[in-house]
Amino acid sequence: LGVFTRITFPLYAFPIGVAFLVQTFKKNQGRLQSLFCLLLGTVLCAGACILIDSVYYGKLVFTVHDMPFRDIFHVVSSVSDLTALSNIRAYGEIVITPLNNILYNLNVDNLAQHGLHARYTHLLINLPLLFGPLTFFGLFCMPKVFSKLKTMNNDLVYGLIGLSIMPHQEARFLCPLLVPFVLIYAWDQSTFPLLFWMAWILFNTVTTFVFSFVHQGGMVPALGFIQRHTTGIHDCHVLHSGDLSCFVDLNQATDLNGFDLTTHLVFYKTYMPPRHLLALPLENKAHHVHIIDFGSDHHGLVSELTQRPGIPLRRHSKDKIDIDFAQTNQTHQFERTLLITPSFVTVPKIKDHRYLLIHRLSPHVSFDDIDTMAQGAQTYSPESQMSLNVYLLLSNQDDL
């Protein structure tokens, strides 16, 4: 089951699985029949996972009397009915998720969309980043406990080497190594030295601050800012340019005066935005919020921004918060585009378009692009590279 839920599972499970098979074989005095139940369970579990994945991804369709199944109750009633059971048919193809996952990860072009790293990243950066002093204490104790904990040692080595072969290396892939590290270091110790506890407390204090407030720290505040500027929209009116202007007040009910509005939220070089934090009211059916997460896909970003209309630069009231929407080809339909990206990113140049920085949130650090941030810090101040910017896409026209 783990093979179908996580591609890294076989790397960690292989040493444990081999040890289990050896012990089972010895316990049953070398009889191959003892492995029959294991083989049968593996085949049945894999078959069920393949069937479920194929149906879930829409590649395999089951019908009864030439009609697709409606829900699980329809399936149960059909299976229990011998007449209906004989009329069940399957159309399409099967999906083997682990195989597709492997083929995807073997393509370097696919991995480049998520970021490419040096082969030593896991060993020299990600391990200390995740486990701190436990990394060094655990590695130091590995030779001492090798004869007693061969499986744990092998589990650590297989997982680390196997993942280091791949060019895309994220620290979270190494999380399962916590158990081997703890067992290796604590195997024959009832108490830990003072040096370990001091290093452990200091490490966790620092990393708690870094990963709670600094790493991708602007994402949640940015969503809060956007939520405040997409709720309570009222008094919408058409400007002489043909574009639309609306006022925003969280204390007032949304009233779009019959207009249909769309806000495109374009995220680039950030983690996937947690959409639920926008907390948009369900009754705002006339204001559509379209979230597009490009990750590191620069070509997709340029293509998206090119086809979006920009808004003319206009003076706004100091007393009220007002937002503008660009006219579209459809009557009473208007839209705006917000680009959310880290400050170290050079925004792409789009013909007949400009950007207006409307909000900046600090601190915001992306460790996936720490090399780019370091290069930018040599030209500009380090603080300027540690924020998340929200841009409004403008046209090349002014309405001042």
151 and 252 together in one domain? no
Q: Which residues contact 338 (CB under 8 A, 6 or more apart)?
A: 226, 263, 264, 265, 266, 358, 390, 391, 392, 393
Answer for the pair 373, 384: CB distance below 8 angstroms, yes or no: no
Mean pLDDT of the chain: 85
The predicted pLDDT at position 64 comes to 76
Are the C-beta atoms of residues 97 and 54 closer than 8 Å to each other? Answer: no
Measured CA angle at 328 (ends 323, 331), to 5 deg = 100
State mean pLDDT over 271-293: 82
Helix (H, G, I), strand (E, B) or coil at 302: helix
**Intra-chain end-to-end CA distance of the chain, in Å:** 62
Q: Of 155, 174, 203, which marks where a domain is finished?
A: 203
357 is a domain residue:
yes
Q: What is the pLDDT of residue 263?
A: 92
Distance between CA 356 and CA 336 in Å, rounded?
A: 12
Q: Where are the beta strands (DSSP E) in the chain?
A: 60-64, 67-68, 88-92, 233-238, 244-248, 260-267, 287-293, 311-314, 321-327, 333-342, 353-361, 388-399
Higher-confidence position of 282 and 178: 178
- Residue 370's nearest CA partner among 213, 249, 214, 260 is 214
Same domain assignment for residues 198 and 272: no
Average confidence (pLDDT) over 158-184: 87
User: What span, in angstroms and rounded, lies between the C-alpha atoms of 92 and 241?
Assistant: 53
Residues 297 and 242 in one domain: yes
Residue 278, CA distances (Å) to 31, 45, 147, 202, 366 in order: 60, 39, 54, 35, 22
**Which pLDDT band holds residue 284 (cuts at 50, 70, 90)?**
low
Token pair for residue 215? 């790493």
Which tokens go with 383?
């603080």
Residue with tokens 């499970």: 13
- Mean pLDDT for the stretch of residues 73-93: 74
Q: Which of 141, 176, 203 marks a domain boundary? A: 203
Residue 205 pLDDT > 90? yes
Weakest-pLDDT range from 96-105, 205-214, 283-292, 386-395: 283-292
In a domain, 278, yes or no: yes
- The two three-digit tokens of residue 90, written as one number: 């399957």
At residue 208, the pLDDT reads: 92
Of 175, 203, 231, which residue sits at a domain end?
Answer: 203
Can you give the pLDDT at residue 276? Answer: 87
Same domain, residue pair 199 and 224:
no
CA 254 vs CA 183, 228, 275, 288, 318: distances in Å: 57, 12, 20, 13, 21
Domain that holds residue 172: 110-203
Instruction: State whether 297 and 164 are in the same domain.
Output: no
5 φ, ψ (degrees, to nearest 5): -105, -25
Tell me the average pLDDT across 131-160: 82
Give 150's Cβ-side CA count (13 Å radius).
6
Residue 273: beta bridge partners? none
Distance CA 400, CA 391 (A): 19
- Segment holding 201, helix H or strand E: helix 194-209
Q: How confident is the model at residue 131 (pLDDT cuts 50, 70, 90)?
A: very high
The pLDDT of residue 212 is 87
| Total number of domains in the chain | 2
Residue 393 belongs to some domain of the structure: yes
Q: What is the DSSP letter of 368?
A: G
Give me the DSSP letters along 106-162: T-HHHHHTT----TTHIIIIIHHHHHTHHHHHHHHHHHHHTTT-HHHHHHHHHHHHH
pLDDT in tens, 333-377: 899 999 999 999 989 999 999 999 999 999 998 877 777 888 887
pLDDT score at 10: 85
